[in-house]
Amino acid sequence: MYSEGVMKKPKSKFVCADCGTESPKWLGKCPGCGNWGSMSEELVVSSVMQEGALPSMLQKHATPVRLSQVETAEVTRFSTGSAEFDRALGGGVIPGEVFLVGGDPGIGKSTLLLQTAQLVAGAGFVVLYVTGEESIQQVRLRAQRLGAFHDALYVLAETDVDAILQHVLKLEPQFLIVDSIQTMFRSHVPSAPGSAQQVRESTMALLRLAKDRNVATCIVGHVTKDGTIAGPRLMEHMVDAVFYFEGDRNQRFRILRAVKNRFGSTNEIGVFDMQSGGLIDVLSPSEMFLAERSVGVAGSAVVSSLEGTRPMLIEVQALVTPTAFGTPRRMASGVDYNRVSLLMAVLEKRVGLPLQSQDAYVNVVGGVQMDEPAVDLGIAVSIASGFRDVPIQSGVVLIGEVGLTGEVRAVTHLEKRIQEAAKLGFTRVIAPSGNMKRLDRDSASDIEVIGVGSLQEALRLALGG
């Protein structure tokens, strides 16, 4: 008798924010990825509402075809106008591609994309810049500072994804920028903007639009305190490419790093110089990173790190001092802390350096993050140089991976690293002996390359004793 006045409780489910695993009840540990505390409640949205919210022009249904009968099409990329951005993308933007750009607040994401929008518009393409965080007047002020004006560049202040879809269908741009996905919402989804459900549904709608209309789409994403893009990790699986815009806010340099790219290498990076007038391409990063290097100072070493197809010479500094406490302190900036601890253990056990009572501070100059094993030798030698207070001999570049037994292991693309060192005026390269048999001598004609098999041998050559 009371059933008529009782409202039916909406159905809900619990979804993991990291992997997207669904559960009818809350679980402390996700059964899909094993993470704790990642399950959050979401209201169930009916499929009828989802289909009805999309414009009718986008409601297409594919039919299965034989793979052998699929016609191959020539992939034509268009340039962003920035050589460094094109390098990170894999050669340019592909029509219909959807890529995600994340980075810390204030790092320069909006500046990079507004500059890119102006350059793409200047090449004859229609560009729509959608801002959900700023007014069009604020975007105008930034564009005035950057000089980013063009008749083919349109700006839209909107957060409703369905309204954005309608504007795209009318304007028909070739390049769409959405800044940012955390401010977007779909009216039929019963949750607040920025929630996992809204981010997922908004990304899916933009992805479907890009593929159906062949619109290259760039989505800006916020990052969490851990440095990962906020929202469900499923979003990163949905898009074609994921890029992180990195850098120290107190440094000039910014790096656009690819962590996923279906149409290019995930090892490529773009290097930019942040100036008052915007971001400038850095075509010779090695020269910029070594511009203020002090020669003849203990603890300073030059290493060669390969980022994709580009070798970069970077300075590594190490300061080693006696500890004032019972437990020595270790700090690492730009390199993995655990890797530094491992190399110090190898120096102590295999070389005999008494580092157990020493504080050690290791820093990569320029705010660059290095995770390639080929920089191990340079880090180890810089620590030994700082401990002995003996400078590394001038004109030396150190290349090699260090094993737990103290051996120096071979690295990839040694010829490219040597050519970069010779171009910048270095006279000697200390490299793994395992690379010497396969070394192209023509690439090393202008520089002396010395092969070493152990860390102890490398220290003797680099420090002169």
What's the CA gap between 431 and 445, in Å, rounded? 15
Q: Is 107 annotated as a binding residue?
A: yes
Question: How far from 15 is each of 12, 21, 42, 196, 224, CA to CA, in Å?
Answer: 10, 6, 7, 9, 18
Q: Is 20 annotated as a binding residue?
A: no
Helices (H), 282-403: 285-289, 337-346, 376-388
Q: Is 352 annotated as a binding residue?
A: no
What's the CA gap between 146 and 262, in Å, rounded? 31
Q: Is 106 annotated as a binding residue?
A: yes
DSSP state of 160: B
Token reading at 143: 């564009």
Q: Is 52 annotated as a binding residue?
A: no
CA-nearest of 11, 77, 85 to 269 is 85
What's the CA gap between 416 and 270, in Å, rounded? 18
Burial readout 390-418 (b: 16 or more C-beta within 10 A, e: otherwise): bbbeeebbbbbbbeeebbbbbbeebbebb
CA-nearest of 75, 107, 76, 81 to 243 is 107
Q: Is 109 annotated as a binding residue?
A: yes
CB 148 within 8 A of CB 118: yes
Q: Is 110 annotated as a binding residue?
A: yes
What's the CA gap between 351 and 362, in Å, rounded? 19
Which residue type is seen at 87? R
CB 443 within 8 A of CB 373: no
Q: What are phi and psi of 136, to 5 degrees?
A: -65, -25
Q: Is 103 annotated as a binding residue?
A: yes
Angle at 270 between CA 138 and CA 105, to 5 degrees: 35
Burial readout 126-149 (b: 16 or more C-beta within 10 A, e: otherwise): bbbbbbbebeeeebeebbeeeebe
What's the CA gap between 35 and 335, in Å, rounded? 26
CB 112 within 8 A of CB 118: no
CA-nearest of 183, 186, 196 to 133 is 183
Binding positions for ATP are 103-110
Binding positions are 103-110
